[in-house]
Amino acid sequence: MRVLVAMSGGVDSSVAAALLVEQGHEVMGATLKLWGGTSDSGCCSVADVEDARRVAQQLDIPHHVFDMTEAFTRSVVDPYVEAHAAARTPNPCIECNRHIKFDRLLERSRRLGFDALATGHHAQVVAARGVRQLRRGADPEKDQSYVLSMLGQRQLRRIVLPIGTMTKDAVRAHAARLGLRTARKPDSQDVCFIRRAEGRQGFLASRLAMHAGSVVEAGTGDVVGRVDALELLTVGQRRGLGHDADGNRRYVIGVDVAKRMVTVGSLREALVDHVALVPTSVTWVDRPLASGAAAIAQTSAHGRPVPCTIELDGTTPLLRFPSRQRPVAPGQTVALYDSADPDVVVGAGIAA
């Protein structure tokens, strides 16, 4: 089988490529140039490209760099800025997977004559009953099924995830046995197009107008403070908001940029019994679940899975929880898992 491996310069994609070579496949490595600006984090730095190239040399496979900066800016960076301007909290890594890795790169692999695209994600693609299941990775601490939850059968039939059955320790041990230069390289944790020195605030401040606003108590409507930048707040956030008169920590309940106002309340006031999804954002791994079906919702990469019921009868899809939960920030992805097999992803949507 001819396999194109997306090599980010990290240990996971390095070992993914190594395993495919060991299995006898014809392998080529590809590193994506995504961000046209400077980068010192994530998977877009010059050092990461060099690490990927050197690992490819160690494995004796060809390696190429594909320039997708224009598509990345249009599909990931610009929407990231626009979302913050509207007081939404986007997930750029998921949008990169949706629009770049498993759309443009997957299509390029097909045009180049490859049978499959491989990545170093900690998740599993399993053939079952004539369809492809997307399952959690074997290492619960590193599971990345959440950030792949928007994938469907079209993509999954052409994707290989070689390290999905391995723990992170096993991945590093395999890299060390092969003497790969990435064996001890730390995992990337940051948004790749934001430099550590500037942070999210610095990045956004150079691209959109920041607006100060009033802090208003949910229960009383009283103005209890001010914030410098509404666009940097996230629903559910508690840091930097102080305490109410009873000593309870305040949480962001809502942000209204147009009214220059953020509503805050106690944890009890912030909890919700449902989350609405953007109708056009809902995707299914295979077939849609019926309205009223049970599922398990996960609202962040390593968030706690919680049971829910799906309501699809109205104009806005809803996920209802049997007990009140922390709020889901608008713009965040909610991954849905099978209620009968919580390791199996069934779909995803973006919180409205």
Nearest to 279 by CA among 314, 254, 309, 321: 314
The Cα–Cα gap between 273 and 98 comes to 28
The Cα–Cα gap between 174 and 60 comes to 17
Determine which one of 43, 44, 93, 96 is catalytic: 96
Do 64 and 168 share a structural domain?
Answer: yes
Q: What is the mean pLDDT of residues 234-253?
A: 92
Parallel, antiparallel, or unpaired for β 213-217 and 261-265? parallel
The Cα–Cα gap between 100 and 6 comes to 11
Do 174 and 56 share a structural domain?
Answer: yes
Residue whose structure tokens are 């299941």: 133
With respect to residue 319, please indicate whether it lies within any of the assigned structural domains: yes
pLDDT per residue as tens digits for the range 89-125: 999 999 999 999 999 999 999 999 999 999 999 999 9
CA 51 from chain center: how many Å? Answer: 23
Give yes or no for a contact between 336 and 242, defined as CB atoms under 8 angstroms apart: no
Residue whose structure tokens are 């666009």: 231
The Cα–Cα gap between 341 and 31 comes to 35
Virtual CA dihedral for 82, 148, 301, 198, nearest 10 degrees? -40
Reported as a pLDDT band with limits 50, 70 and 90, residue 190 is confident
What percentage of the chain has pLDDT greater than the value 70?
98
Nearest to 55 by CA among 13, 26, 25: 13
Q: What is the mean pLDDT of residues 57-70?
A: 97
Do 79 and 37 share a structural domain?
Answer: yes
Q: What distances in angstroms separate CA 318 from CA 68, 137, 278, one per listed residue?
A: 35, 27, 9
44 is catalytic: no
Do 327 and 264 share a structural domain?
Answer: no
Q: What is the mean pLDDT of residues 244-255?
A: 92
CATH number at residue 31: 3.40.50.620
Do 59 and 29 share a structural domain?
Answer: yes
Q: Rg of the chain's alpha carbons, rounded to an integer?
A: 21
96 is catalytic: yes
Do 62 and 172 share a structural domain?
Answer: yes
State pTM to two decimals.
Answer: 0.95
The two tokens of residue 124 are: 């599993």
With respect to residue 183, please indicate whether it lies within any of the assigned structural domains: no
Do 216 and 244 share a structural domain?
Answer: yes
The two tokens of residue 90 are: 């986007």
Do 216 and 101 share a structural domain?
Answer: no
Instruction: Tell me the pLDDT of the chain averaged across its residues.
Output: 95
What's the domain range around 259?
209-270
Do 82 and 43 share a structural domain?
Answer: yes
Neighbours of 313 (CB within 10 A): 8
Q: Is the pLDDT of residue 42 over 60?
A: no
**Residues 26-57 as b or e (16 or more Cβ within 10 Å = b):** ebbbbbbebbeeebebbbbbeebbebbbbbbe
Determine which one of 43, 44, 93, 192 is catalytic: 192
